[in-house]
C-alpha cells in the first residue's frame, strides 16, 4: 500500500490538479462578476439569475453533464462555435473536465464572494468616490481588496468541489486515462475492476491528502488576509 506511486496514479493526480486549478482560475472572473452583480444591484430577473447560478448545486451532476454535452459538445451550439472561432475544444479533452468542474463549483464560489461583498461597508466606497476614485478605481482599490477573504474561500470551495467532481465529468467527456481520468474517475474505475480495491484505497488516501493540503493553505491565506483588513485587532 505504501509503495511509490505508479505512473498512471501520478497521471491521475497531475491531471486532477491541473483540471481543478484551471477550472478555479478560469471561473474566477465570472464568479466575481456574478457575485458583484447579485450583491450590489437590483434589476428585473435578479431572482432568476440567482436561481440559475445555484442550479448546478441542486441538479444531479449527471444531468449537468448531459447539459454540458448538449451545449458544449462538438455538435453543440456553443461548443461548435468555440471550436470554429477559437479552436477551443471541450469534447473528450481535459478542458471539458475543467469546464465540468467550473460549472459545478461556480455556485459555491459565487456564494462565498457575494457574502464577502455584502459585508463590506458601502460607505467606504462612497468615501473613496469623494476622494476622486471612479467606479472601476473603487472596485480595484477598495472593493476587491476588502473582499479577498471571500474570494479565497470561494476559490477553495470550488477547488475542493473540482477535486471530487465525478458525475458531470464522466457523462460529458467520458473516462479517458491521461486526458479526462481525474482522481475520482480513476478511483471509480479501480473499484469496478475485480481486485482493484487496494489501488482504489491508495488513490483515496491521496485525494484526502490533496484536499487537506488545499484546506490548510487556504486557512493560512484567509487568516493573513483578514489580518490585513482588520488590522491586528483580530
What residues line the site for another protein (CB under 8 A)? 69-70, 73-75, 91-92, 121, 123-124, 126-135, 137, 141-142, 145-146, 170-171, 173-176, 189, 191-194, 228-233
CB of 127 to another protein, least distance (A): 4
* d(C-alpha 221, C-alpha 148), whole Å: 9
CB of 226 to another protein, least distance (A): 10
Q: Are 16 and 210 within 8 A, CB to CB?
A: yes
* d(C-alpha 167, C-alpha 177), whole Å: 16
Q: Between residues 107 and 167, which has the closer beta carbon with respect to another protein? A: 167
Q: Between residues 25 and 89, which has the closer beta carbon with respect to another protein? A: 89
CB of 49 to another protein, least distance (A): 27
Q: Between residues 25 and 133, which has the closer beta carbon with respect to another protein? A: 133
Q: Between residues 158 and 199, which has the closer beta carbon with respect to another protein? A: 199
Question: Which is nearest to 54 in space by CA: 64, 62, 44?
Answer: 64
* d(C-alpha 73, C-alpha 159), whole Å: 24
CB of 76 to another protein, least distance (A): 8
What kind and span of H or E run contains 180? Answer: none
Q: Are 17 and 94 within 8 A, CB to CB?
A: no
DSSP conformational letter for 14: H
Amino acid at each position: 500500500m505504501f509503495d511509490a506511486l505508479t505512473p498512471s496514479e501520478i497521471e491521475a493526480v497531475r491531471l486532477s490538479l491541473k483540471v481543478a486549478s484551471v477550472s478555479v482560475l478560469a471561473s474566477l472572473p465570472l464568479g466575481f462578476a456574478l457575485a458583484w452583480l447579485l450583491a450590489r444591484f437590483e434589476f428585473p430577473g435578479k431572482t432568476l439569475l440567482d436561481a440559475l447560478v445555484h442550479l448546478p448545486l441542486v441538479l444531479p451532476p449527471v444531468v449537468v453533464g448531459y447539459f454540458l454535452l448538449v451545449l458544449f459538445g462538438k455538435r453543440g451550439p456553443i461548443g461548435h462555435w468555440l471550436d470554429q472561432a477559437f479552436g477551443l475544444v471541450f469534447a473528450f479533452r481535459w478542458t471539458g473536465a475543467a469546464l465540468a468542474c467550473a460549472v459545478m463549483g461556480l455556485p459555491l464560489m459565487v456564494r462565498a464572494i457575494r457574502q464577502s461583498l455584502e459585508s463590506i461597508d458601502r460607505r467606504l466606497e462612497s468615501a473613496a468616490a469623494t476622494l476622486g476614485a471612479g467606479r472601476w478605481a473603487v472596485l480595484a482599490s477598495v472593493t476587491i481588496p476588502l473582499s479577498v477573504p471571500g474570494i479565497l474561500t470561494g476559490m477553495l470551495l470550488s477547488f475542493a468541489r473540482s477535486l471530487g467532481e465525478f458525475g458531470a465529468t464522466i457523462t460529458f467527456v467520458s473516462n479517458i486515462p491521461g486526458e479526462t481520468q481525474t482522481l475520482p474517475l480513476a478511483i471509480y474505475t479501480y473499484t469496478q475492476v475485480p481486485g482493484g480495491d487496494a489501488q482504489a484505497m491508495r488513490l483515496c488516501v491521496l485525494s484526502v491528502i490533496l484536499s487537506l493540503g488545499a484546506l490548510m493553505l487556504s486557512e493560512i491565506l484567509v487568516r493573513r488576509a483578514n489580518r490585513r483588513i482588520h488590522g491586528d485587532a483580530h
